[in-house]
Amino acid sequence: MTDLVWPVFVIEGEGQTEAVASMPGVTRLSIDLLVEAVGEASALGVKAVALFPKVDPSLKTPEGREAANPDSLMCRAIRALKAAHPEVGLFCDVALDPYNSDGHDGIVRDGVILNDETIEVLVRQSLVQAAAGADVIAPSDMMDGRIGTIRDALDQAGFAHVQIMSYAAKYASAFYGPFRDAVGSGGALKGDKQTYQMNPANTDEALREVAMDLDEGADSVMVKPGLPYLDIVQRVRETFAVPTLVYQVSGEYAMMKAAAANGWLDNDKAVLESLLAFKRAGANGIFTYAAVEAARLLKSC
Ligand SMILES: NCc1[nH]cc(CCC(=O)O)c1CC(=O)O
Ligand SMILES: [Mg+2]
């Protein structure tokens, strides 16, 4: 149970809930309701959440400027959650896609992702999130060299205690579709992310990406997606023996829920079996939208 990390989506307002149509059981919540939901999750034993904002389209710019706003929805949510539930670890996403009018994780000019200019914004994003109370900065953007630069900036600003979990082995996957609905980046997305996310055909590249990010100072690494990439989880864990996390992504979750809704799968058994498979592969932590229901199921076992 303490291995589970629950990804959650935050929206503006008070008393607001929005269902995510492509992710049955997942709702975006305004900060007040998110604080309540995370309290319930904590009582069930889920002691970590991963926070993602759905940003108002009017705040999206080509440089993702809102990402570095210390009073952004994201930073307000971090402060509220830390104040109400200090025992719950906060993994805070660092990437520009919720804030970028092109829907990309980095800044785009003339159809090209600008790696180094993006890193400057990611550093500012990391610093405002650390100042708001992030426990773990989680760059999911896949720019090259961002871990070392973010680490130096955090250390210099007095945030040596804030960890970095790198999305090191993140594949250009078809399984992210429902997430892009949830944060509202899919409609804006022009083109695809194949120039910075990894080719699903590659395995050795994942090991090189992990090695670089560890060298630059990552405390832990993420393999993403999950079930289709269990071989990568196992290789990373066996090669580096560092905390290795895995993300059961939105599309994997949607597949299980759709099949269960049709009566084609036993939901509870499928959920628990998929989590067991991650443990078998060696994962130390599992991001899953089913974290709270899994905690309930595990309690009743
Ligand atoms: N910063 C990108 C990001 N952050 C989280 C997810 C996907 C998570 C999921 O599918 O559950 C993605 C992938 C993407 O849009 O390329
Ligand atoms: Mg990399």
Q: Give residue-wise pLDDT tens across range 58-92.
A: 999 999 999 999 999 999 999 999 999 999 999 99
For the chain, helix (H) and strand (E) counts, in that order, are 10, 12
- Which ligand 1 atom is the nearest neighbour of the CA of 185? 15
How would you classify residue 114: left for phi > 0, otherwise alpha for psi between -120 and 50, otherwise beta? beta
Q: Is 185 exposed, middle or buried (0-12, 13-18, 19+ CB in 10 A)?
A: buried
Continuous H helices in 94-240 = 115-132, 146-156, 177-183, 204-215, 230-240
Q: What is the pTM of this model?
A: 0.97
pLDDT of residue 129: 98
pLDDT tens digits along 132-177:
999 999 999 999 999 999 999 999 999 999 999 999 999 999 999 9
* Residue nearest (by alpha carbon) to ligand 1 atom 13: 176
* Cα 214 to ligand 2 centre (Å): 10
Ligand nearest to the CA of 210: 2
Tokens for 283, please give them.
């994962």
ipTM: 0.96
Q: What pLDDT was estimated at residue 1?
A: 65
Verify whether residue 170 is a known catalytic residue. Answer: yes
CATH of residue 191: 3.20.20.70
Least confident of 83-87, 90-94, 186-190, 215-219: 186-190
Residue bearing the CA closest to ligand 1, atom 10:
176
The 3-state DSSP class for residue 61 equals strand
Parent domain of 265: 4-300
Given a cut of 70, is residue 278 above it in pLDDT?
yes
* Mean of pLDDT over the chain: 96
Measured CA to CA in angstroms, residue 128 lies from 68, 93, 117, 169 at distances of 6, 12, 18, 25
Residue 120 phi, psi dihedral angles, 5° rounding: -60, -40
Q: Specify the ligand 1 atom closest to the Cα of 178.
A: 10
Q: Does pLDDT of 273 surpass 80?
A: yes
- For ligand 1, atom 12, the nearest C-alpha belongs to 176
pLDDT at 222 > cutoff 80? yes
Quote the pLDDT of residue 190: 82
Could you report the per-residue pLDDT of 22-47, keeping only the tens digit for each? 999 999 999 999 999 999 999 999 99
Contact 131, 74 (CB under 8 A): no
3-class SS shares of the chain: helix, strand, coil, % to 5: 45, 20, 35
212-229 mean pLDDT:
98
Count of domains for the chain: 1
